[in-house]
Structure 1
Amino acid sequence: MNDHKTDKFSQEIIKNALVAIGDEMFEAMARSSMSPIIYEVLDYSVGLTTKDGDLIAQGNGTTVFLGMIDALVKEIIEKFGAKGDIKPGDVFISNDPYYGTHLSDVALAKPIFHQGALVGFAVNKAHWVDVGGMAPGSFTPASTEIYQEGLQIPTMKVVDEGKVLQPILDLISANIRMPKESLGDFWAGVAANNVGAERLVMLYEKYGAEAMTTAMEGLLDYGEAMIAEELTKLPKGVFEAEDWIDDDGQGEDPLRVCVRIEISDETFKVDFTGSAPQALGPINHGRTALVAAVRTIFKALTNPQIPSNGGCFRALEIICPDRTVFTAERPAPVSTYWETMLYAEDLIWKAMAEHLPDRLSAGHVLSVCAFILSAKHPETDEDVILVQPLVGGWGAMSDRDGLNGQFSIADGETYNIPVEIQEARYGVRINQYALHNEDGGEGKFRGGKGVYLDYEILCDQAHFSGSFGRFKFPPWGAAGGAKGSSNYVELIRKDGSKDTREVYGKPSRVQMRKGDIVRCVTATGGGWGDPHERSEAEIADDLKNDFITKEQAARFYKRPYAAE
């Protein structure tokens, strides 16, 4: 035992080591997973909590999980702790969307023990390619209840004191379309948690329980102190915003959402009262996802550089009535939850952008633009399911153009699947992956450009689903800048010598045949400032890069260019 090592230098070393454990867990999962959505896209997150479920360190691919690791652990403690049923060697599994996002995001948690005492949990949450349900890939705008969206796994043990509960894995395998890949990702999650547990125990062995407890408490206090300092720098008062979600996937009217923000030197209070009630279609999400959304934008407004932990969010207060689109309850469908979760972030962003022009941009692509293509591989005849998020444009800022071709705020440090891997693994041909020059995002500083991504179908038949929010309500401009362009999917069918085109915002299991092309189109971000103030040099540069045409330059910037 080394409990005497509680000096400030040791404490700093321990705190940084805890953060490093999260990073090592993250790498371990990427290196051992079987699905491109994990090892290429990095659609997962890992972390450590205290024995009480307070977040200590988190390794993020997707920022949407920022409020969910600790929520899962607290549910485990509540459900199993009172019975004394949390033991060394246990592994818990859950995909309960009302404590998370949607059924595709499966979480694994491993309790960590040192000398017989529970000292923490290692957790990861990752997107599985398929968890069953009415549509390949397990999300579709067509669902109207959670039972259509896949296999529900309530929080339970899947490994009991080191013994794998094989019937549970057999049940999962029998209900999903890609059991080899998904169970491979399950074991990758187990391995990542084992790395976290081993490293945390090593720290306990080296420094002792007293020093470790002090360091964990100190890390939480450090997060609180750093955020408190930044909070004093924010503008004070009440700020409000409203917006409209396209629809719920069932053809219903647009849904109004709103926020009221109250900032003082000590607290950051957000209130979503007045937002639309729980919807029939799958755009809903639970309260835990709302917490994650608000945490993400709160971190961006204060100090995005310090490692995330529970202390960072002590000043945050979130208010929302039950059974809204932000706080849905069972059996509400939730498979395209991101369309609403990102509005929770974007509303705060919109309310604060012009008050914090050095920190926030105009509106961005917002939607994950998640796309699923289900087909037969033309060479092997095997079933394949391509799932990936898409990049789009970010809004302009008060002093510069927006970023081109970036993931939405939900996806954080994620990536697209390389073209070569998509073509080889899924048997499609990608004919175009390029920035586009559709109307939108004009301003003194223009919004970042969205993309065209064209898939040509090479097998006899296939189908696709997706959810492309901001199809009807494009990204907002700031300080007189123009709105961005829309997200959508265009299907170009081959009918002999004649092409026919179909445009969708929320396609569900749309049938395709060999030679058809599905074009994914993502938004250009909103502009900032009066377009007439854009400089000649910047317009010339846009023309050179094909970001705009001469006709667009004449139409939006009132410059004497001849139409093409």
Structure 2
Amino acid sequence: MTKLSDIDLQVMWNRLIAVVEEQAQVLLRTAFSAIVREAGDLSAGVFDRDGNMLAQAVTGTPGHVNSMAESVKHFIRTFPVETMREGDIYITNDPWMGTGHLNDFVLTTPAFHKGKLVALFSCTSHLMDIGGIGFGPDATDVFMEGLYIPLLKLADNGKLNETLMAMIRANTRLPIDTEGDVYSLAACNDVGCERLSAMMTEFGLDDLDVLSKHILSRSRAAVLDAIAAMPQGSWSNTMTVDGYDEPVVLAATVTVSKTGIHVDFAGTGPASRRGINVPLAYTTAYTVFGLACIVGKDIPNNAGSLAPLTVSAPEDSIVNALKPKPVASRHVIGQMLPDVVFGALRQAIPERVPAEGTSCLWNLNVRGQTEDAGLGNYGFTMAVTSNGGTGARPLKDGLSATAYPSGVKGTPVEIAESITPLIFWRKEFRTDSGGAGKTRGGLGQVIEVGSRIGKPFDLLAAYDRIDHPPRGRDGGKDGAAGAVALKSGVKLKGKGFQLIPPDDRLVVMTPGGGGIGAPTARDKAAVEKDLSEGLISKAGAKVYGG
């Protein structure tokens, strides 16, 4: 093959991104878990033989993608590439070697071209039930949280590990869905392998060595160029969130230098007794994503672009919890970390950084009995994804009912009602919940749900920003605090297992994002528009000077 030009390599790079996006779409369209197929709680990517991520699918979440990037290196260490054969598939849900909790299965498959191993495809998706106490923060160690799969072979030279599959089926309340999700993950990687081989045939490639070097070196250089344009120095920030039994302090020092950006979480509170702890890989995943949103946001995400962004945290702090700490609801703290980093960067580049938002997902993790018990599953278990408002941006309002930083979509009510015995009576924007400011915070939402079969159901609550709502900045107001209650007026806890009576309804009010700038400086036409659309009330308009 002749020497590849930069144009050739760029075309191939773009094609590689298209390959992994098709890989992700296969997972999206074949998954059994609604949180995957409806909300996109997944990741997909391709890696070189050294375990460097070359491309990730646009579809997916940062927590999955950037922690999955480390998982592949663990697989290679345990199963060296020299021993891999066509038809091998590797699996784990180890929170410290995977994506942070047991509900996420990571599958990695070696890709062969003309009989030679040329790459590895990896993918992750969230499975709704893997046994144990269930998808909530109540456990006191990881062993209570469900089935723990170390780094194993799911398939060996094309032969499925039937013993492992039997163990998986036997340790879930949803054996049909869980088995289907495993096959969906495997199929997703298989399609990636097929499309990569076809691409290499089309371009006359025998390996990905030259393309890998190009992708990683160009991406790293682009991020370093973006960092060079920033002020250099160190800035610190703290943020207090609700925690489980007591508030948690999250502290970060961000240091910008010519060689990269380092975030140190020294000063952050200790690990919790409950399942809101975060393994370091997940902490790193969301921290570097937050940095990437500000620095080089248009640069593709891969091992090269991630290399200049580094993270450290004290051992057994809540953002570097060690085994066997419980970690099922690690997203509650982990998804707060971009806001913590933004608070430090705000001191250096305020014109590029938003106010605090809801950050962590406000999912309705529900579980209970169904009318028909003969469908192969034991009742129903579902995470109805829902979100609050994001923080105001320096030049734009925040986004309403939008998941940032996770990026997952909200579960359609019609889907939730079709696969659970629940009925949603309300799902609407929460008036006046966005923090007032020159630019307004995004709105939260009000969700009201009850049983339609006269049976109680469980809420496995994992919410935050109830006691410590998103903060506004530069004169902007705080977003509205979240709240969880029964329609009868009984206040519920923000975290933990709770029973919703069959004759009552669950009411969830998600937080709003913080505002930026004095509300009186807001454009009057924008205030009138908000008022006419019901985003603010007449009483709420008074803070704007109306």
Establish whether residue 503 from structure 1 lines up as the match of residue 501 from structure 2. Answer: no
Shift of 1:160: 0.5
Q: 1:211 to 1:141 in 2, by over 3 A?
A: closer
How far the C-alpha of 1:7 sits from its partner, in A, is: 3.3
8 Å CA contact 1:5–1:207 kept in 2: the answer is no
Q: Is the CA contact (8 Å cut-off) linking 2:449 and 2:507 kept in structure 1?
A: yes
| 2:174 is aligned with 1:172 | no
The answer to whether the aligner puts 1:27 opposite 2:25 as a matched pair is yes
Paired with 1:552 and 1:313, the residues of 2 have a C-alpha distance of 43
Q: In the alignment, which residue of structure 2 is the partner of 1:454?
A: 448
Instruction: Please state if 1:430 is matched with 2:419.
Output: no
Q: String of CA shifts for 1:123-175, please: whole Å, max 9, x gaps.
A: 100000111111xxx32221110011100001100101100010100001000
Correspondence 1:399 to 2:395:
yes
Task: Report 1:214-363 matches (<5 A).
Answer: 214-247=210-243, 249=244, 251=245, 253-353=246-346, 355-363=348-356
1:410-437: CA deviation from partner (whole Å, max 9, x where unpaired): x22x212211111122121111110012
Alignment match, 1:540: 528
Q: Distance in 1 between matches of 2:207 and 2:100?
A: 36
TM-score (norm 1): 0.91
Aligned match of 1:415: 409
1:128 aligns with 2:117: no
Instruction: Supply the RMSD in Å over aligned alpha carbons.
Output: 1.9
Equivalent position SS for 1:295: helix
Counterpart Cα distance in 1 of 2:460 and 2:122: 30
Q: Quote how far apart the aligned CAs of 1:505 are.
A: 1.2
**Letter of the structure 2 residue corresponding to residue 473 of structure 1:** H
Q: In structure 2, what is the equivalent of residue 496 of structure 1? A: none
Which of residues 459, 481, 484 in structure 1 aligns to 2:479? 484
Q: Structure 1, residues 326-358: CA drift from partner, whole Å, max 9, x if none?
A: 111110000110122123222111222364344
User: In structure 2, how many angstroms separate the alpha carbons of the residues matched to 1:66 and 1:45?
Assistant: 5
Alignment match, 2:382: 386
Q: Distance in 2 between matches of 1:211 and 1:116?
A: 11
Q: Provide the residue aligned with 1:529 in structure 2.
A: 517
Q: Check whether the contact 1:88–1:113 (CA below 8 A) recurs between aligned residues.
A: yes
Q: Secondary structure at the match of 1:317?
A: strand
Matched, 1:95 2:88: no
Question: Can you list the C-alpha shifts for 1:480-521, whole angstroms capped at 9, x where unaligned?
Answer: 1111112232222xxxxxx3422321131x112323211121
**Which residue identity is paired with 2:107?**
L
The code of the aligned residue for 1:272 comes to F
Count of aligned residue pairs for this structure pair: 540
Q: Is the 8 A contact 1:445 1:529 kept in 2?
A: yes
CA distance in 2, matches of 1:343, 1:527: 17
**SS of residue matched to 1:504:** coil
Match of 1:495 in 2: none
The CA distance in 2 between the partners of 1:222 and 1:115, in whole Å, is: 28
What is the CA–CA distance in structure 2 between the aligned matches of 1:102 and 1:434, rounded to whole Å?
31
Matching residue's letter, 1:176: T
The 1:392–1:401 alpha-carbon spacing in structure 2 relative to 1, beyond 3 Å, is: same
Deviations 1:1-45 (A, max 9, x none): xx3353333322221221111111011111222221111111101
Give the drift of 1:211.
6.1
CA distance in 2, matches of 1:106, 1:61: 14
**Conservation of the 8 A alpha-carbon contact between 1:22 and 1:196:** yes
Following TM superposition, by how much is the alpha carbon of 1:380 offset from its aligned partner in structure 2, in angstroms? Answer: 6.9
- SS of the equivalent of 1:110 reads strand
Letter of the structure 2 residue corresponding to residue 221 of structure 1: S
Moved more, 425-434 or 297-306: 297-306
C-alpha separation in 2, matches of 1:241 and 1:378: 51
C-alpha distance in 2, partners of 1:152/1:32? 24
Matches within 5 A, 1:110-129: 110-129=109-128
Matched AA of 2:389: G
Q: Does 1:188 align with 2:175?
A: no
Secondary structure at the counterpart of residue 51 of structure 2: coil
Compute the displacement of 1:271 (Å).
1.0
Aligned pair in 2 of structure 1 residues 558, 12: CA closer, same or farther (>3 Å)? Answer: closer
SS in 2 for 1:539: helix
Tell me the residue number matched to 1:463: 458
TM-score by length of 2: 0.94
Residue 507 of structure 1 aligns to a residue in which SS? Answer: strand
Task: Name the residue aligned to 1:11.
Answer: 9
Of 40, 54, 57, 1:56 maps to 54
| Mapping for residues 28-47 of structure 1, pairs under 5 Å | 28-47=26-45
Structure 2: stretches of 5+ with no match in the other structure: none
Equivalent in the alignment of 2:544: 557
Q: How far, CA to CA, are the matches of 2:203 and 2:534 in structure 1?
A: 59
| Conservation of the 8 A alpha-carbon contact between 1:354 and 1:478 | no
* 1:446 to 1:9, Cα distance in 2 relative to 1, 3 A: closer
Contact 1:98–1:285 (CA<8 Å) still a contact in 2? no
Q: How far, CA to CA, are the matches of 1:260 and 1:447 in structure 2?
A: 25
Distance 2:525 2:200 in 1: 60
Gaps of 5+ in 1: 493-498, 560-564
Note if contact 2:433-2:511 (Cα within 8 Å) is conserved in structure 1: no
Alignment partner for residue 208 of structure 2, among 182, 188, 212?
Answer: 212
